[in-house]
Amino acid sequence: MSSSARWLLLLVPGLMFFYTLGGSPIAAEAAPRGGGQCRKCPPPDGGTDGGTGSDGGTSPDAGTGYDAGTPDAGYDAGTPDAGTPDAGSGSDAGTPPPTGCLGQPLLDSLGKDHVLVGAKTNDDVVGLAPFDIRYIYLAGGLFDSQQVCSSCMSCSTAGQSCSSSNPSGCGWWGCWQWDQVAPGQFLRDFLTQTRNLGQLPMLTYYEILHTSRVAEGAQEVAKAQDAAMMQRYYNDWRFVLQQVGTSTVLLHIEPDFWAYAQHVNTNPHMIPAAVASANPTDCSGFENSIAGMGRCMIAMARKYAPNAKVSLHASAWATKIDAMMNQDPSLNVEAEAVKVADFLRECGGGSADFVVVETSDRDAQYYQVRLGRNSWWDPTNTTLPHFRQAFRFAKALSERMGLPNMWWQIPVGNMSMPGYDQHWKDNRLDYFFDHPQEVAAAHGIGMIFGAGEQAQTNPSTDNGHALQRANAYFFNGGQPACLNMSLP
């Protein structure tokens, strides 16, 4: 179905929704249980009710205390890491030729031809625009047992019962539901509901930090050596993939983690991790390193979810210089992108289907007001940091990896927001919708919007702005993803 036709199907409910908006701002949701802020966890409703008619008191505990600051802060100084990882060892070495449209094979397999638009949406707004993609996090920690729990009644995570009688909730995604149904129903329902809306499910798997229960960064990378923990980790990843089965789903593996690993050592073959030693069932042939870990996870996806499309996450700050927040006009942004690409390729990223990139995990005004930090990008592209610098990074990254990129978790704030929790200003959403041709020219095949933390603006709290922009985008036919053009 064409983009404009899909839009017309939503015209009436969309108008009804916007009619209800206005007046005083929508009240902010309650803070997560425990008072903490998990920067990668879903909202308490998880975007679905688990198909049980009851939340069972088991919404994920977002208050794990592992926010540990923001990973993209503080890396715009110093000198870039010298050299690139060893391109040998029978890996994805070599530079793929950036010929043609990098995104066309993937888009063809999805039956799409335009730059995809998606969001992390709550149930109240998910059907009010014909989004291509809907994403959720699987985060919060794993079951305490070595094997996947067979019942939520008897399951626990971090010592907390996953029974519906526990008011603190269960951290493991497999029991974000009524405890009388089999583990994983939350995800199975999400996949079904999303497909029924004509949208493509995307799963952001962000578990190693919360499972490790250590500080974000080098400590979580070091915990990948823990064979007992990694056995649970691979068992859970297998369980996720088994719920996906033969469905077409986008899989986004461990945002931030690969960048922190690159901080530890620019050669992922030299960073120890339990792979074959923790998962001989699926990965006996992979080395016990971070490089082997990435390859193992992608191989498992091919084995258990053969129609899924897989991605690792590329962080612009992975070289310890934040190439998207850079203010030095002499910085070779493309060279920084190549270093990130080479690291990910050694981790198996070159055999993935796409690569995820990110603008910021929070609204710019939130950073400005709460942390005194300037994270704005100049929409006129005259003063660094600006949008075209970010697109330069993404373009070079994709060309080095031979894969299209997907912009993920773009902040939802807009410049009409009043400036408090869940109503912060940002200019990225409007810039992306105003300049989708720049996304396409940089090998981008998608722009996905969502809050990276519960205090941020989201599509349920922005007075309908994201929905308006998405509906207008589809009504006008969308942006062709394959162009014969270069960046301005």
Give the domain CATH number at 416: 3.20.20.80
C-alpha angle 430-433-438 in degrees, rounded to nearest 5: 115
Instruction: Give SS3 for 376.
Output: coil
- Give tens-digit pLDDT for 335-368: 999 999 999 999 999 999 999 999 999 999 999 9
- Percentage of the chain modeled with pLDDT above 70: 79
User: Is residue 457, in this structure, part of any structural domain at all?
Assistant: yes
CA dist., res. 429 & res. 364, Å (int):
11
| pLDDT confidence of residue 487 | 55
């702005």: which residue's tokens? 465
Element (H, E) at 310: strand 309-313
Residue 100: its pLDDT value, please?
76
Q: Is there a domain that residue 483 lies in? A: no
CA atoms within 13 A on the CB side of 15: 5
Whether 371 is covered by a domain: the verdict is yes
pTM, two decimal places: 0.84
| Residue at 487 is within a domain | no
* Residue of 358, 363, 271 whose CA lies nearest to 322: 358
What's the DSSP call for residue 48? S
Looking at 31-45, 188-202, 374-388, which range is the least confident one?
31-45
Residue 484 lies in a domain: no
Question: Average model confidence (pLDDT) for the chain?
Answer: 85
405 is a domain residue: yes
How many CA atoms are closer than 13 Å to the CA of 150, on its beta-carbon side?
A: 0
Cβ count near 412 (within 10 Å): 27
Show the domain range for 221.
3-475
Domains: count for the chain: 1
**In this model, does residue 331 exceed pLDDT 50?**
yes
Average pLDDT score over residue span 203-229: 98
Helices then strands, each counted (H, E), the chain? 16, 10
Structure token pair of residue 169: 């909730």
Residue 454 counted as domain residue: yes
**Residue 350, domain member (yes or no):** yes
- Pairing of the two strands 160-161 and 156-157: antiparallel
Is residue 268's pLDDT more than 90?
Answer: yes
Cβ atoms 201, 188 nearer than 8 A: no
